[in-house]
């Protein structure tokens, strides 16, 4: 069952105008939150980011945080049982095709829920291969926009090479992946690029920050030059659907020091255990 403009219905009954600005221009924003054991993970952070994205594009957020929370839980309930990944988007609405914002139209609100993807034991134990890719996207990546062609092209590059993700490079610095944030580890220090206009501020990224601080793990937020990235002892991905996941090869080259080259490292194993407990509310 999906939610569309105030009504729940089977997905096959859903209809959206071809003049919707989400269809014509990609004019809208979205969110995705995991609902684990019936509880949305870090929902407050997702709702703050949603509101910020709406403000960035001059779109009125149609619902209160309380209403969004009700809808997220209802979507998960209607499409359960089991853990769910709830996706929703808001577009500017339906109007004659014109680049300028139309006046006095209602936004289109769509929400769906699907079983939350599960990491396999193989992925957790051995990590995943990734590939570098030039970050040629626009300069407002902090907006969670439905206009994702740049990310789609990056992910397709990984898929065509047999990889799980890309690590994007902009002007000689590591930014993020197509649908994930990226961390480096140097010794016992976790390093993340700063959350600027070239990176989407991930809610799971914030979770890593919080867990590191609570558990006495060293954390640095700073730009990471590409050359330094290649020398990292560990590389990780983080996202709402993955939690954290180790990158063990990059462009077919093994990542890590001699003790765990091409395998998940000890800092990943610590954070993975902490993240799993946090997501389960343990």
Mean pLDDT score, 70-79? 98
Band the pLDDT of 9: cuts 50, 70, 90. very high
Q: Is pLDDT above 90 for 59?
A: yes
Catalytic pick from 96, 118, 144, 263? 144
pLDDT band at 215 (very low <50, low <70, confident <90, very high): very high
The predicted pLDDT at position 281 comes to: 87
User: What local confidence, expressed as pLDDT, does residue 86 receive?
Assistant: 98
Sign of the CA dihedral running 158, 159, 162, 165 = positive
Q: Is a pLDDT exceeding 80 seen at residue 113?
A: yes
- Could you give the CA distance from residue 191 to residue 138 in angstroms, rounded to a whole number? 24
Q: What is the pLDDT of residue 130?
A: 98
Query: Average of pLDDT values for 70-82?
Result: 97
53: left (phi over 0), alpha (psi -120 to 50) or beta: alpha
- Provide the pLDDT for residue 258: 86
Nearest alpha carbon to residue 53 among 197, 189, 177, 179: 197
Is residue 144 flagged as an active site residue? yes
pLDDT score for 52: 98
- Residue 282, pLDDT > 70, answer no
pLDDT band at 78 (very low <50, low <70, confident <90, very high): very high
Distances (CA, A) of 33 to 36, 215, 224, 281: 10, 24, 28, 15
| DSSP 8-state assignment for residue 94 | B
């Amino acid at each position: 069952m999906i939610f569309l403009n105030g009504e729940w219905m089977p997905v096959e009954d859903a209809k959206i105008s071809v003049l919707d600005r989400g269809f014509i221009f990609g004019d809208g924003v979205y969110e995705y939150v995991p609902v684990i054991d019936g509880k949305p993970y870090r929902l407050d952070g997702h709702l703050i980011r949603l509101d910020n994205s709406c403000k960035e594009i001059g779109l009125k957020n149609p619902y209160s945080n309380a209403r969004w929370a009700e809808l997220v839980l209802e979507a998960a309930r209607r499409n359960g049982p089991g853990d769910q990944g709830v996706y929703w988007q808001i577009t500017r609405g339906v109007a004659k095709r014109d680049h300028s914002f139309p006046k006095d139209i209602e936004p289109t609100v769509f929400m769906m829920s699907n079983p939350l993807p599960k990491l396999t034991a193989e992925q957790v134990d051995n990590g995943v291969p990734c590939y570098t890719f030039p970050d040629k996207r626009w300069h407002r990546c902090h907006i969670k926009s439905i206009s994702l062609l740049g990310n789609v092209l990056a992910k397709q590059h990984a898929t065509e090479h047999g990889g799980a993700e890309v690590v994007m490079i902009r002007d000689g610095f590591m930014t993020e992946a197509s649908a994930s944030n990226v961390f480096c580890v140097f010794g016992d220090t976790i390093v993340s690029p700063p959350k600027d206009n070239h990176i989407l501020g991930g809610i799971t990224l914030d979770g890593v920050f919080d867990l590191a601080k609570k558990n006495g793990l060293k954390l640095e937020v700073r730009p990471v030059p590409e050359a330094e990235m290649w020398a990292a002892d560990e590389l990780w991905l983080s996202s709402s659907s993955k939690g954290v996941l180790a990158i063990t090869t990059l462009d077919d080259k093994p990542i890590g020091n001699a003790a765990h080259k091409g395998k998940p490292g000890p800092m990943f194993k610590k954070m993975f255990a902490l993240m799993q407990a946090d997501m389960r509310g343990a």
